[in-house]
Amino acid sequence: MNQKTNRGLFVTFEGIDGSGKSTQCRLLADHLRAKGHAVVLTREPGGSPGAEEIRRLVLEGEPDRWSAETEILLFTAARRDHLERTIQPALEAGKVVVCDRFADSTRMYQGLSRGDLRDTVDQLHSLMIAREPDVTVLIDMDPATGLARAKGRQGTEERFEDFGVDLQEKMRTGFLSLAQEYADRFRVIDGARDMACVASDVVATVQAVLDARL
Ligand code: ADP
Ligand code: TYD
């Protein structure tokens, strides 16, 4: 899937649980729609009917329900379906795709959480996905605050939150080094501020990318 053949813009949000990604995705989508852009707001795992079914398998149940290797396969299967059925058609139609998490989450959660499986994640990614976002917004914040916010939601999708604050610390550090590894597409934003402040930085960041493409 060639990255240069479409006219749309592919924006992803990354960060630890509870950092405010879903909130900021929604606010960015509202802002872009108000400016006249056609926007598809989507999320991972999920974003297509098949991938939403896989979401239930990976996010519910005991933390040791799947090995890291099996998770890599499940998250990648979900992503492939999401890419084929939702993301790629929207980009080809010239839309802005705003996606809550994408492959960088697999690089972190499955690649780092239980041993070093980053190479396996990257190999399967090249084989089955072969697509990076145009811009990735990393909402960075202290894990204790993020986890407290996430726990406040009291949902059933808590498998990864149940791995605890140590995992979130590791994920935060990992995301910050990923931002250096892919410095051309990552933008790091301080998420430990009120929603409106964070949103105004997010909008300015994405608007700058859109303006540079004109
Ligand atoms: P994520 O998608 O990263 O897990 P959410 O956007 O779902 O994060 O936010 C987690 C919780 O924190 C939600 O209850 C949300 O309303 C709240 N929240 C989001 N952004 C902020 C913020 N900047 N300050 C305080 N609370 C926030
Ligand atoms: P999400 O619904 O974004 O949770 P939150 O709003 O709490 O950030 O994602 C659910 C969980 O799925 C999250 O803990 C991270 C995990 N995840 C992976 O482990 N690998 C992946 O590839 C993706 C996309 C998510």
Beta bridge partners of 146: none
Residue 158 CA, ligand 2 centroid: distance in Å: 9
- Tell me whether residue 77 is exposed, middle or buried, using C-beta atoms within 10 angstroms of its C-beta: 0 to 12, 13 to 18, 19 or more: middle
- For all residues of the chain together, what is the average pLDDT? 93
Q: Which of 55, 101, 137, 149 to mutate to test the pocket of ligand 1 (most atoms within 8 A of CB)?
A: 149
Per-residue pLDDT, averaged over 109-128, amounts to: 95
Each residue's pLDDT tens digit, 149-191: 877 776 766 666 666 788 899 999 999 999 999 999 999 999 9
Helix (H) or strand (E) holding 123: helix 118-128
Each residue's pLDDT tens digit, 93-105: 999 999 999 999 9
Taking alpha carbons only, the member of 141, 69, 145, 135 closest to residue 102 is: 135
Q: How many CB atoms lie within 10 A of CB 34?
A: 8
The pLDDT, as a whole number, for residue 156 is 67
19 lines ligand 1 (CB under 6 A): yes
Nearest ligand to the CA atom of 27: 1
pLDDT band at 31 (very low <50, low <70, confident <90, very high): very high
Helix (H) or strand (E) holding 130: none
pTM for this predicted structure: 0.95
Residue 19 CA, ligand 1 centroid: distance in Å: 6
20 lines ligand 1 (CB under 6 A): yes
Pairing type for strands 186-190 and 96-100 reads unpaired
Give the 3-state secondary structure of residue 9. strand
Amino acid identity of 88?
Answer: Q
Each residue's pLDDT tens digit, 66-82: 999 999 999 999 999 99
pLDDT band at 60 (very low <50, low <70, confident <90, very high): very high
End-to-end CA distance of the chain, in Å? 23
Shortest-distance Cα residue to atom 7 of ligand 2: 17
Residue 128 CA, ligand 1 centroid: distance in Å: 32
18 lines ligand 1 (CB under 6 A): yes
The pLDDT, as a whole number, for residue 150 is 79
15 lines ligand 2 (CB under 6 A): no
149 lines ligand 1 (CB under 6 A): yes
Q: Give whole-number Cα distances, 175 to 15, 46, 81, 121, 179, in Å.
A: 7, 21, 25, 15, 6
Residue matched to tokens 């929603």: 195
100 lines ligand 2 (CB under 6 A): yes
The pLDDT, as a whole number, for residue 161 is 63
The span from the CA of 130 to the CA of 171, in Å, is 23
Looking at the chain, the whole-number percentage of residues with pLDDT higher than 70 is 93
66 lines ligand 2 (CB under 6 A): no
Shortest-distance Cα residue to atom 13 of ligand 1: 149
pLDDT band at 146 (very low <50, low <70, confident <90, very high): confident
Copy the structure tokens of residue 197. 């402040």
Kindly list the structural domains of the chain, giving each domain's residue range(s) and its CATH number in brackets, ordered by start. Answer: 5-212 (3.40.50.300)
Per-residue pLDDT, averaged over 118-135, amounts to: 98
Per-residue pLDDT, averaged over 133-152, amounts to: 90
The pLDDT, as a whole number, for residue 154 is 63
Shortest-distance Cα residue to atom 9 of ligand 1: 20
More confident residue, 97 or 115: 97
- Tell me whether residue 126 is exposed, middle or buried, using C-beta atoms within 10 angstroms of its C-beta: 0 to 12, 13 to 18, 19 or more: exposed
Copy the structure tokens of residue 18. 């509870």
